């Protein structure tokens, strides 16, 4: 059956495969409402909770915005993977304003990937790439990762590869079910980075693949960044300035 998890062993892998089936079943059940805004919100909330439950120690999963030192806020991201040592700058409901140095990875979520959404994901990949290079230069393991996850996709595999070849986004995109032109779910990425080529592979365990790559990448990222509490304190000086005005003594 397309999208069915099988072929590997390991308790952790089987548990994530079971969670993948539950996520797909939940989305199918929510779709009965025929309310796109409700479907999207419930899927995103549920997926963030899933990530939070399995995240390594020291990692937080929040929706929100990345704030750079000049005060500019990024586009909204459905899930930011954040180094918990850093304080948040602000919040609106569940959405957080996150210091750029605290961001380890970003995830964009959708129940159905069409060309409009794919274009948006690729654009956000470029935004993450810019922020990451500004902070971490070409430090591959220290840079900010970016992932896109879709339950379903109406974009044919050939078209997905064409978009990656033309735009060359530094991101990984996964579908949980087979898109047109494939028998199974797919994973698409730029093999070899910007100068490489668009790679697409079929997978029977897309969620397990994503979790393995994402959180392994997070651990490598944190391990390669030179960070202690003094570094966090210095970052706070960059983002949170004193506002006191001292009166001149007569």
Encode pLDDT of 26-62 as tens digits: 999 999 988 888 899 999 999 999 999 988 888 999 9
Residue 250 has pLDDT above 70, yes or no: no
The per-residue pLDDT for 136 is 77
Residue 14 has pLDDT above 70, yes or no: yes
Q: So where are the chain's domains?
A: 11-55+107-227
Q: Can you point out the beta strands (E) in the chain? A: 59-67, 77-83, 90-92, 95-99, 103-113, 145-153, 172-175, 185-191, 197-203
The per-residue pLDDT for 62 is 97
85, 229 contact by CB (below 8 A) = yes
- DSSP helix/strand/coil, 29: helix
Encode pLDDT of 129-182 as tens digits: 999 988 877 655 558 889 999 999 999 999 999 999 999 999 999 999 999 989
Question: What mean pLDDT do residues 102-124 have?
Answer: 96
The per-residue pLDDT for 228 is 73
Residue 186 has pLDDT above 80, yes or no: yes
- DSSP helix/strand/coil, 105: strand
19, 50 contact by CB (below 8 A) = yes
Please, what sign has the CA dihedral across residues 102, 59, 12, 78? Answer: negative
C-alpha to C-alpha distance for 213 and 218, rounded to whole angstroms: 8
Residue 107 has pLDDT above 80, yes or no: yes
Which of 106, 116, 208 is CA-nearest to residue 159? 116
What is this structure's pTM?
A: 0.87
């Amino acid at each position: 059956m397309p999208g069915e998890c099988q072929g590997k062993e390991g308790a952790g892998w089987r548990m994530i495969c079971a969670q993948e089936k539950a996520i797909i079943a939940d989305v199918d059940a929510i779709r009965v409402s025929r309310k796109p805004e409700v479907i999207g919100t419930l899927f995103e909330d549920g997926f963030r909770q899933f990530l939070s439950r399995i995240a390594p120690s020291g990692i937080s999963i929040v929706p929100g915005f990345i704030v750079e030192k000049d005060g500019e806020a990024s586009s909204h991201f459905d899930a930011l993977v954040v180094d918990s040592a850093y304080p948040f700058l602000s919040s609106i409901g569940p959405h957080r304003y996150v210091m750029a140095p605290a961001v380890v990875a970003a995830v964009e979520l959708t129940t159905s990937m069409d060309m409009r959404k794919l274009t948006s994901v690729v654009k956000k990949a470029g935004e993450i790439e810019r922020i990451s290079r500004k902070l971490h230069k070409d430090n591959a393991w220290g840079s900010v990762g970016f992932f896109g996850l879709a339950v379903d996709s109406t974009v044919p595999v050939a078209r997905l590869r064409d978009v990656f070849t033309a735009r060359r986004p530094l991101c990984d995109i996964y579908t949980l079910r087979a898109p047109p032109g494939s028998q199974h779910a797919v994973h698409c990425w730029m093999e070899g980075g910007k100068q490489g080529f668009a790679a697409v592979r079929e997978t029977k365990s897309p969620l397990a693949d994503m979790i393995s790559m994402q959180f392994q990448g997070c651990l490598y990222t944190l391990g390669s960044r030179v960070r202690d509490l003094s570094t966090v304190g210095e970052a706070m000086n960059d983002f949170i300035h004193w506002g006191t005005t001292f009166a001149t003594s007569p």
